[in-house]
Amino acid sequence: MSHRTGCALIALLIVVPGLRAAEKVAAMVNGEAITLPEVDSAMAQLPSAASSPVQQRQRRSEMLPILIDDLLVRQFLKQHGPSVEPAEVERQVAGLAASLKTQGKTLDEYLKESGLTLPRIRENFLRMLQLAKYVDAQATDERLRAYFAANRDFFDKTTVRTSHIVIRVAPTASPEERQKAAQKLRSVRNDLEARKIDFPAAAKAYSQDPSAPAGGDIGYTVRKFQVDEPYARAAFTLNVGEVSDVVETESGYHLIWVTDRKPGKPARYEEAAADVRDCYEAELKQILLAELRKKARIEIKLKD
205 shares a domain with 57: no
pTM over 0.75: no
68 shares a domain with 172: no
141 shares a domain with 110: yes
- How many other C-beta atoms lie within 10 A of the C-beta of residue 216? 26
CATH number of the domain to which 180 belongs: 3.10.50.40
pLDDT 10s digits, 123-171:
999 999 999 999 999 999 999 999 999 999 999 999 999 999 999 988 7
Q: Is the dihedral of CA 56, 59, 64, 66 positive or negative?
A: negative
170 shares a domain with 139: no
Within-domain flag for 182:
yes
* Structural domains of the chain, count: 2
Question: DSSP string of the chain?
Answer: ---TT-PPPP--S---PPP-TTPPEEEEETTEEEEHHHHHHHHHTSSS---SHHHHHHHHHHHHHHHHHHHHHHHHHHHHPPP--HHHHHHHHHHHHHHHHHTT--HHHHHHHHT--HHHHHHHHHHHHHHHHHHHHH--HHHHHHHHHHTHHHHTT-EEEEEEEEEE--TT--HHHHHHHHHHHHHHHHHHHTTSS-HHHHHHHH--STTGGGTTEEEEE-SSSSS-HHHHHHHTTSPTT-B---EEETTEEEEEEEEEEE--PPP-HHHHHHHHHHHHHHHHHHHHHHHHHHH--EEE----
212 shares a domain with 123: no
CATH number of the domain to which 289 belongs: 1.10.4030.10
281 shares a domain with 218: no
Amino acid 17: pLDDT? 54
Which residues does the chain have with pLDDT short of 70? Answer: 1-22, 47-51, 304
Amino acid 50: pLDDT? 56
Within-domain flag for 1:
no
Amino acid 21: pLDDT? 44
Sheet holding 298-300, edge to edge: 32-35, 25-29, 298-300
Residues 95 and 39: their CA atoms lie apart, in Å, by 26
Within-domain flag for 16:
no
Amino acid 248: pLDDT? 94
C-alpha dihedral, 58 to 62 to 68 to 69, nearest 10° = 180
50 shares a domain with 191: no
239 shares a domain with 189: yes
Domain containing residue 177:
159-262
